[in-house]
Amino acid sequence: MSNPFNPAFGNRPIHFFGRQEITRSIISSVDEQNSPWRTTLITGVRGSGKTALLSDIRMSLNNRNIVVLYIVPNEAMLDSILAQLYRQLSKSISEAMPEFKDISVNLGIKVGFEKNKKTPYFTETFSYQIMELMDACMKQQKHVVFLIDEAQKHTEDMRVFISKYQDLVMREYSVSMVMAGLPSVISDVLNDDILTFLRRAKQIELENVEFMTVEYEFKKVFSRANTELADDTVSKAAAATYGYPYLIQLIGYYLWDEMLDIDGTDLLDDVLFKSKAELFRNVHRLIFADLSAMDRSFLFAMSEDEGSSSVSIIGERLQKKKNFISIYRERLISAGVIKSGGHGLLCFNYPYTREFLLHKKNELGYY
């Protein structure tokens, strides 16, 4: 049997734990015009499964009379939307659209609609062209779903698109949108004065999967492999994931890959060593690289504690006043690196962050 786990970023895993209800709610909203799920914002830290969830939604809608557009915000975002929408229209509808002169996209494509007389300048705008394409979709009774992955803040194309999407909703076009991004980015989008419409959207924060769910799924998957892998080993492996989706796939992948070669404790130690190495390289190092020197000092101060850290003790260690500590506390919470652990307490948001920081302190000679 091939390995059923897939830790590659962006791909939908074969075993997709703990997100099925979100997918079902969004799919069902296609047939319910007043469903709050028709416009959904999904936030989550790195590795929480945002892209995998969008991929699951996309695959689940694949066999229906639905146009699904997968959008990654960049300089050609608006052109990409027009190009994807045009490509998914049937040939009969496309040929019946002479209203605007051309769509020029930055993807090496130019779709022309020549007319005998010169068309007005406004027919070359995104607003006009998408309305023409949407009218064509509606004539064929197609529902259009916009899936926006890795949303970016402060982009003019994003503002233009969201404003137009709001217009489509108000005109009762059959449309849906799911936007996914890091917590700080989605917060920035919601605070944009032009995009206040999105504050009424359904907002979902992807949290870690419950231990019982991970343990149940792990045991189900490994029992089908007809191996003698002990239930206790599988349970310990499930607990080691802390329900973090990327780590679920990593540990599951290495446990499956090595279950026939090593037994007992040695097996789990080897699996955790390899999984942590991948986690540190693909998640923790990227997060650490984006932090300021003071952000890092704050986290190093937290790493001195085995459990939750007291905000007041962090201030003492850094020799900084309460107001100064509060600023960096909020910065790191907003970035999704840490979270509240109770009144006056903080804890790390990613599994094994303390272990990574202790290694990093040693590497940097930080004392």
Question: From first to last of its 367 residues, what are the pLDDT tens digits of the chain?
Answer: 788 898 886 667 676 677 889 999 999 999 998 999 999 999 999 999 999 899 989 988 877 789 999 998 877 899 999 999 998 886 555 555 545 445 554 444 444 545 455 667 677 889 999 999 999 999 889 999 999 998 887 688 888 999 999 999 999 999 999 999 998 888 888 888 888 889 999 999 999 999 999 999 999 999 887 677 888 999 999 999 999 999 999 999 999 988 866 655 688 999 999 999 999 999 999 999 999 999 999 999 999 999 999 999 999 999 999 999 999 999 999 889 999 998 999 999 999 999 999 999 888 776 5
- Do the beta carbons of residue 156 and residue 126 sit within 8 Å? no
81: which 2 tokens? Answer: 């939307």
Whole-prediction pTM = 0.84
- Count how many Cα atoms sit within 13 Å of the Cα of residue 257 in the half-sphere of its side chain: 14
Calculate the alpha carbon distances from 47 to 53, 73, 125, 280 in Å. 11, 19, 37, 12
Q: Is the dihedral of CA 217, 223, 225, 228 positive or negative?
A: positive
Instruction: Sort strands 102-104 and 110-112 into parallel, antiparallel or unpaired.
Output: antiparallel
